[in-house]
Amino acid sequence: MNTYSQALPRTGTIHRLAAIWNRWKKRLATARDDARLRADLDHELRCLEQAGELDGSLANLGLARPAIPALLQRYPGSARRYAAMTRRVGIGAERASSARTGFTALFGPRRRCLFCSESRRCERWLASGAREGYRAFCPNADAFDRMKRG
């Protein structure tokens, strides 16, 4: 037996508050996870420093020590966006990346994503569920197209 109350949309104040609460819980969980990943990257950088390899590693990326605060501020959001973009545009799982990439997030197209000025637009595009349109703003669009081809 079907009841009509279960078929009606849940639009009451309680349901709206619950939806808001769930969004905030998700944001807080993401912020907590991001802080852990940032701490992991910071630890990697400190290990490179202790081993005397930090400057060389940064030089391989075309970066210097003054870039470290920006790296830590933008990571792992950029790695998460990069991983989401690769999945969205249809790049195979073996070529895609995860948000837990650490220092490897600073190489190649991932680095381009790290310093991208379109991060807000990218977040909105990813949230929209769209499959096309990223070429209008993504500096990695050509790299993604090459990855898809092979």
- Rounded to whole angstroms, the Cα distance separating 119 from 1 reads 49
> What pLDDT, on the 0 to 100 scale, is given for residue 102?
65
**Count of C-beta atoms within a 10 Å radius of residue 1:** 2
- Whether 70 and 112 have beta carbons less than 8 Å apart is answered as no
> What pLDDT, on the 0 to 100 scale, is given for residue 122?
94
What range does the domain containing 101 cover?
35-149
The answer as to whether 10 is a domain residue is no
The answer as to whether 29 is a domain residue is no
Query: Most distant CA pair in the chain: distance in Å?
Result: 71
Q: How far is CA 20 from CA 13, 65, 148, in A?
A: 11, 40, 37
- Whether 112 and 62 have beta carbons less than 8 Å apart is answered as no
The answer as to whether 5 is a domain residue is no
Query: Mind listing the pLDDT tens digit for each residue in 35-87?
Result: 998 999 899 999 999 999 999 988 888 889 998 998 888 888 888 898 899 99
| Prediction pTM value | 0.69
Does residue 137 register a pLDDT over 80? yes
The answer as to whether 78 is a domain residue is yes
The answer as to whether 68 is a domain residue is yes
Q: How many domains does the chain have?
A: 1
The answer as to whether 69 is a domain residue is yes
